[in-house]
Structure 1
């Protein structure tokens, strides 16, 4: 039975839906958080304020002892066990709750990265793919922080090409263990981790996954890397020399390591986006506070319109990101509904449910990492010269932000995956991509009279619909022109990815504003409506530009002129007063000195 027939939303289907997208009552927004979820968020914030902030400088200087002690304190509070089933010593929380923890930990800077590597890519491979014996052995200690985990995929000669790894695992003659040899690079938490999830090729060929313990003979860790940012997190090479790993420490099956890696990276990408959301919010608060304190020409710089515009632009991107992140967390919870987290084979079923949304995971990762880079850069600019000084937190946020576009698969790799995965799913019949594209071809030949819009967000809903049609028009042309060779046209695929990212972001913002309008009314939804309006109009202009660039690479002469005339019909828009909108968005942020919806 397909997800659609079960009432669940198929991954990637957002690009094929009608003007308004799915029913907004189905999506999860921050306004929907339960009291319990809000308490989890507050507990996380209190932990950061009381346990991490006072030791921030020492953690940033990379104190293993302090980081480990604080990780264990987080474990005692339950912050490390959110995604571990209760039967194995965790809390077994819903994905919205665990996402809230991720977001609120972001203020802990490098420490948040140490937590993220442990609870996400370090622990989840055992949660999803471990045998009952492996789960009983490792998960309780990982959930409470008695043991800490690291994820070991990257090698000196293989980054995004994970299956190009050279680390080997040779089975012993008696079948009781595997002998691992090789090295892994850029391993977060390597300096103090007890458990390593290691990828190696059995017999030099079959890409597989192993649980390796620090105390096993032949395991060693190289020196700390000297990094641009995230200096308070441990990043070392892991060296494996004739390490005898018991056969029972093989994770899942020989030759299935790529499936573990890809599924775990999906989750890692989503969790990374949640972290960038928290950092965006912190940067807005720091910048608004500084803008109110900094006096120039006899008044606070927050009173100057261009500073207000910067804060508004920072908030608009953050609002879109927040809408995307919790919409996606809600999709996960919906997809995981009905699965027994402790039952036989439940881990793999859970991983498959999350893999359903691999397109959305990559979209969140790319948008979130690039939104934070923008927000951090503007934050430094608002601080002026002081933004370049280390005693100001925004300087570190700027440096720490840069790694996110490289972590969990570079943004370039993720951009190739987004349309590539959609096309593969369409060809397999999992999504009606071909049917939608065919129907659109006939529609585009019909006259498209100009429309007028009167209701709140009516024009923005129309622009979203047009953006989806533009993507389908360009995508169909790309498939028709290049067919099986399309994967070699990386610039074109990246443009298609940008359109898909914008559509998901626009739709998430629009659905959230629609939902808030329905439940709270025009006045309480006014800020969400303003940010949605500004975001949709600016993104739509970008979509038009990407489409023109793509069409020019697909055709020329009369064919190109015909396609551009069709595009012109799809991109008719009445401009809005962005200056007025952004001044209204900035005012409460300046007054409250924080991100506000």
Structure 2
């Protein structure tokens, strides 16, 4: 399913050398983005990048963005009802799951609604929606049918997104009109048997023809969503030993075949197949961007659409919570409705908190992107990790609230749970993305330390920088000059803002301590990197909620008190987790625990399974 685990980083020497300042996880990400840090003279406004330096960049966090004009709000509101009606009255997710296909009538209705072309400009037949508007419709999709959502997303979020982002005017005019109307379906074709999260090992080859007019592609791909019937594909192939290039490939070119549909745990109605290329002649004008830029194209396609997963899964969580609440409001046990019991109340509260954080993250990122942000790749990665894990938890807890009824197919939650499992794997497995977040942030912090070391070698030439740095460190050492978020939030949330501010200061100190201790070898300390990533997730989620709840209060929204309560509860637990995770990075007992885990894993792997003596 093309999106399975292909966030492209490698721990081997060819891509990710042990020198963190070389082409590490972080630098690979850096070269892949739309250019968040390509211009070294341009400020980096990423909130997450800056907290790795123990600093706060609030420009894109406060106030919580509201980017839609009144006309744009009217446009999206006019689409919500038809979308809802389609998913309730036309589409049947249970039938889609059971038959492992999408009925033609459903496809016809999606074509009429413009679902196949939500973001491309109207001149290409699309609806011309921005990211924020698109996120709202993604919520509706996630609320009703994740399997159908994969079919849609594989088509436009990644299938032809490369043409939108990198296509020449001629490529856009040729391909987008036939794709936005849904008459032809697109696919994103990257993953190979030997290259899940490691696209550096791609073997599919593209050789320039003798006359220089075509590339001849040979190779095979696996797990391609829409792979059985996609007519237009964004295909990644090696044009030389060190160059990966993106191509627009049509099935009609000849030599493109597909295997049978894969049998999967979930998202059954989304078609997933192997795709084979045998002497496929692709015109040179079908290269996307430039020869050798395939890695950048692939990464930016994925980075550009990750906010949509958070929006989609916030809709899924909303639907799961509504089913759980309906049951809790009506189910009588031991003389009371079960909503009166503390155990159920805690479940519902946590489910609501996770949905609120997920939704807040995805719309923060979407609106920042619409405002022109270039520094969203870490935030988008965290949104993907958080939303996919939170949605799984929420659905699982909803089943628990419903008890035996939740386990039954008719309730629909078991299908949702099966569908959800893939989201923690594709578009970059969560394990890889955690390492990506940690190493990218550490590299940014390391660059600052490197600058300081360089300045210390020539203090006379760097008095201004040194004076500022020494002053900042001295103030923090005596407990002054620390992070302050309280001026950015509503008064009711100032204690929570102070707590998270302290977490940010502790986070920055912990990152610097790890850099000094491990230097370039930090890349090998993945237990510690996970602690940093989990802390960053909690900090970012907390600040997003502080910002959104403050917006609700400032705008006197009827939900303001509830949003403040959600934020207070979330920040209380998140700050405790941050402190606990960061303490592990310097705790001798935890470092010893990590060593024991390494030893256990090595023994189990060496023995190809468990290695304990039988009891009998």
Q: TM class by shorter-chain length?
A: 0.7 to 0.9
Per the alignment, residue 401 of structure 1 pairs with: 420
Pairs aligned (count): 534
Match of 2:341 among 284, 287, 304: 304
Contact 1:367 1:501 in 2 (8 A): yes
CA contact (8 A) 1:423 1:433 kept: no
CA contact (8 A) 1:425 1:431 kept: no
Aligned pair partner of 1:389 in 385, 396, 408? 408
2:174 corresponds to which residue? Answer: 137
What is the correspondence of 1:432-447 to structure 2 with a 5 Å cutoff? 441-447=473-479
Please, what TM-score do these two structures have when normalized by structure 1?
Answer: 0.82
The equivalent of 2:251 in structure 1 is 214
Matches of 1:519 and 1:433, distance apart in 2: 43
Which of 367, 370, 375 is 1:330 aligned to? 367
User: How big is the shift at 1:216?
Assistant: 2.8
Q: Deviations over 1:489-548 (max 9, x none)?
A: 111111111111111100000011111111207x74110000000000000110011011
Return closer, same or farther for 1:122/1:447 CA change in 2, 3 Å cut-off. Answer: closer
Distance 2:411 2:69 in 1: 32
Q: Is the 8 A contact 2:45 2:57 kept in 1?
A: no
Q: Does 1:257 align with 2:294?
A: yes
Q: Does 2:497 align with 1:461?
A: yes
- Aligned to 2:572, which of 511, 519, 537? 537
Alpha carbons of structure 1 residues 61 and 554: separation in structure 2 relative to 1, 3 Å = same
CA apart distance, 1:267: 2.3
Deviates more, 1:479-488 or 1:300-309: 300-309
Q: Distance between the aligned counterparts of 1:395 and 1:293, measured in 2?
A: 21
Q: Secondary structure, in 3 states, of the residue corresponding to 1:240? A: strand
Shift of 1:203: 3.9
1:316 and 2:348 are equivalent in the alignment: no
Structure 2: gaps (5+ residues): 1-35, 454-464, 593-616
Structure 2: distance between partners of 1:437 and 1:191: 58
User: Given the superposition, is the C-alpha separation of residues 275 and 439 from structure 1 closer, same or farther in structure 2, using an over 3 Å criterion?
Assistant: farther
Counterpart of 1:475?
511
In the other structure, the counterpart of 1:363 is: 382
Counterparts in 2 of 1:7 and 1:535: CA distance versus 1, 3 Å: same
| Inter-CA distance 6–76: structure 2 relative to 1 (3 Å threshold) | farther
Distance 1:429 1:126 in 2: 36
Tell me if structure 2 keeps the 8 A contact 1:103–1:275: yes
Deviation at 1:259, TM superposition (A): 0.2
Separation in 2, partners of 1:437, 1:379: 50
**Shift, 1:294, TM fit:** 2.9
- Partner of 2:436 in structure 1? 417
Distance 1:515 1:10, change over 3 A: same
Q: Does 1:379 align with 2:398?
A: yes
Deviation of the 1:427 alpha carbon: 5.1
* Structure-2 change in CA distance of 1:38 and 1:9 (3 Å): farther
Q: What is the Cα deviation at residue 50 of structure 1?
A: 2.4
SS at match of 1:61: helix
Counterpart CA distance in 2 for 1:419 and 1:431 is 18
Q: 1:21 to 1:543 in 2, by over 3 A?
A: farther
Measured in 2, the distance between the counterparts of 1:556 and 1:438 equals: 31
The answer on whether the counterparts of 1:71 and 1:115 sit within 8 Å (CA) in structure 2 is: no
**Which of residues 133, 155, 178 is equivalent to 2:192?**
155
- Work out whether 1:40 is the aligned partner of 2:79: yes
Structure 1 gap segments, 5+ residues each: 337-352, 558-597
The residue number in structure 1 matching 2:561 is 526
CA contact (8 A) 1:180 1:243 kept: yes
Do the aligned residues in 1 keep the contact of 2:46 with 2:60 (CA within 8 Å)?
Answer: no
Q: 1:27 aligns with which of 65, 83, 86?
A: 65
Structure 1 vs Structure 2 CA RMSD = 3.3
Determine the structure 1 residue equivalent to 2:581.
Answer: 546
CA contact (8 A) 1:76 1:145 kept: no
* Matches of 1:446 and 1:430, distance apart in 2: 21
CA–CA distance in 2 between the matches of 1:30 and 1:377?
35
* 2:274 equivalent among 237, 251, 272: 237
1:66-100 residue CA offsets vs partner (Å, 9 max, x unmatched)? 1x553443232222222212232222222100111
Structure with more contact order per residue of length (Cα contacts < 8 Å, sep ≥ 6): 2
* Contact 1:197–1:209 under 8 Å retained in 2: yes
Using the TM superposition, give the Cα deviation of residue 17 of structure 1 relative to its aligned residue in structure 2, in angstroms.
4.8
Question: Cα distance 1:470–1:38, how it changes in 2: closer, same or farther (>3 A)?
Answer: farther
- Structure 1's 245 and 21: CA in aligned 2 closer, same or farther, altered over 3 A? closer
For the Cα contact (< 8 Å) 1:467–1:543, is it kept in 2? Answer: yes
